[in-house]
Structure 1
Amino acid sequence: MHIVITGANRGIGKALADCYRDQGYNVIGTARDKSGQVRLDVADPAHHADMAVQLQGQPVDLLICNAGVYLDKGQGIDGYPSEMWAESFATNVTGVFLTIQALLPNLRAARGKIAIISSQMASHTRAPGGSYIYRASKAAALNLGRNLAADLKSDGIAVGIYHPGWVQTDMGGAAADIHVDHAVQGLTERFYALSLANTGCFETYDGQLHAY
């Protein structure tokens, strides 16, 4: 099985890449710097074009869109500069779409799967205030995934959107609920279960359906 994971140089992305490699799968991890097997700033269209050339002709069984940023953590209501909105959406939303678009021929060749790492903060049922940019961008990624699921079903490509849990990573912080290994175990089970029968799902790492 050939797997591509964006943002695979740290946190959940790195842990997923290590897990799949340990199982003997062919994994390509991307990163914005040269630490990835493929250099990919998901906000840069030129990087996507380069990646498409590098992976041309290689079927992709599973694409995990993991790369993301949480730039507005701790911002007050008088904060949230426009540049922060633009950078966050370029990575968390546009970056997801450009990645899928670039690798669509590879996914079609394998009738592969797409897993989008979103967050429970995307759900309209969780609105305690704050983190406006991150919440809005993850909600947009959720909407993107749901619509891609409808459009790509005829190609045999299933799309799932996932909340990985509140994970002890640089983004989640040391006070988070679960260790990254726990999240990875759950996520890999969810990806395995993803099919055309449940395409468009929004699930937690432990298999619970999440309200949209």
Structure 2
Amino acid sequence: MATYLITGANRGIGAAMDSLLVNRGDSVIGTARNHPEYLSLDVTDPESQNAMSRQLAGRCIDTLVCNAGVYLDKGETLAGGFPAQMWADSFAANVTGVFLSVQALLPNLQMSADPKIAIISSQMASHTRAPGGSYIYRASKAAALNLGRNLATDLRKLNIAVGIYHPGWVKTDMGGDAADISVEDSAAGLVNRFDALSMKTTGCFETWDGKQHPF
């Protein structure tokens, strides 16, 4: 049995991963900004991160899943859209929030015999796939990909493996009803990717179904 911490575990892919892992016998610490059934965490808030760190002091975490994120600029237009505050809020959640979560829980990960960090990015992070639009979300997910790649380099000396993943186009509030796959399929694929992650594959950028994604 392994212990997972999943940020943003109260809905969508996070909730599906939580349920799958618990059902197979793993221990899951799920976080949410404001939900009575989950550990309170606003990933954008350093004091909230510090409070979580204090609450979990001395507890081993085998896999940190950085899942919490936002897609605020859906439907924005180049002429007059994409306001500055939207950029700030998106990067705070999708990039800074990932870094702060890793930073806060690094001592817990170092207690594990097989520590892993899984960063949920997106195919929209790829610079080789640039169909236009969604500039803020694409840029923030590209930054999360870059962050994960550099964390993989620096955490290698601590034997902490880091993987970055595209969860698929998923039927969630974020993905919409026209998406390709269910949250259950995405969650199952992602958990398989986490299981396979090792120091040999650290720094990988993979799809939910195990394909290497172009950077």
TM band (smaller chain): over 0.9
The aligned amino acid for 2:102 is I
Calculate percent identity across the aligned residue pairs.
64
Change in Cα spacing, 1:36 to 1:80, as seen in structure 2 (3 Å) is farther
Distance 2:135 2:199 in 1: 32
Structure 1 residues 123-138: aligned runs within 5 Å: 123-138=126-141
Aligned to 1:24: 25
TM-score by length of 1: 0.99
Distance 1:155 1:108 in 2: 8
Report the Cα offset of residue 36 of structure 1: 4.5
Aligned to 2:69: 68
Report the Cα offset of residue 23 of structure 1: 1.1
CA displacement 1:107-148 (0-9 Å, x = unmatched) = 011141000000000001111110000000000000000000
What SS class does the counterpart of residue 103 from structure 1 fall into?
Answer: helix
The aligned amino acid for 1:152 is L
> Which residue of 82, 85, 104 maps to 1:83?
85
The aligned amino acid for 2:208 is Y
Change in Cα spacing, 1:151 to 1:131, as seen in structure 2 (3 Å) is same
Aligned to 1:158: 161
Pick which of 62-71 and 29-38 moved more: 29-38
Aligned to 1:50: 51
Distance 1:129 1:153 in 2: 35
The aligned amino acid for 2:24 is Q
| 8 Å CA contact 1:159, 1:200 repeated in 2 | yes
CA displacement 1:13-52 (0-9 Å, x = unmatched) = 0000011111111100000103452100100001000000
Distance 2:25 2:84 in 1: 44
| 8 Å CA contact 1:9, 1:35 repeated in 2 | no
Aligned to 2:42: 41
| 8 Å CA contact 1:8, 1:36 repeated in 2 | no
Aligned to 1:112: 115
Aligned to 1:176: 179
Aligned to 2:103: 101
The aligned amino acid for 2:139 is A
| 8 Å CA contact 1:121, 1:135 repeated in 2 | yes
> What do you get for the CA RMSD once the two structures are aligned?
0.7
- Gapped regions of structure 1 (runs ≥ 5): none
| 8 Å CA contact 2:10, 2:38 repeated in 1 | no
Aligned to 2:6: 5
| 8 Å CA contact 2:10, 2:35 repeated in 1 | no
Distance 1:12 1:81 in 2: 28
Report the Cα offset of residue 186 of structure 1: 0.8
